[in-house]
Amino acid sequence: MTGDETSRFVRLRVEMVVEVDDTGKLTGAALGRIADDEQMPAEERAHAEAAVRDDAAEALAYLVDPFDLVSQVPGVELTQASWSSETIDYDPDAPDWEHDDDGADDDVDGADDEDDELI
């Protein structure tokens, strides 16, 4: 693609690990956000409240909004967003901890190095 043909769309991937040191505050804030959402139907609200009470990761997901991350960036409009959260075992000192384990293969040509033949 030339400069004129370059896509205007950019995929921004962000992965964070946060430590929840006060589940009560986190849950309370998420419940407050849900209560303030006037557009949420009652059935969905009940489901959301139950999920937030049961799981700190769900509470965090209700409070983190991708729009908030880019809304103040000049020249950028959020087109699409998805996000998730999960509780994980985290030990930054463990030798097998990989911060970027998304299943992507670092091999540019997509071939398995063990099967590559030298010609």
Q: How far apart are CA 109 and CA 119, in angstroms?
A: 16
Confidence band, pLDDT 50/70/90 cuts, at residue 84: confident
Question: Which pLDDT score is estimated for 23?
Answer: 97
- This prediction has a pTM of 0.67
- Whether the per-residue pLDDT at 59 is higher than 70: the answer is yes
Q: How far apart are CA 51 and CA 29, in angstroms?
A: 14
Question: Which pLDDT score is estimated for 38?
Answer: 95
Q: How far apart are CA 100 and CA 83, in angstroms?
A: 16
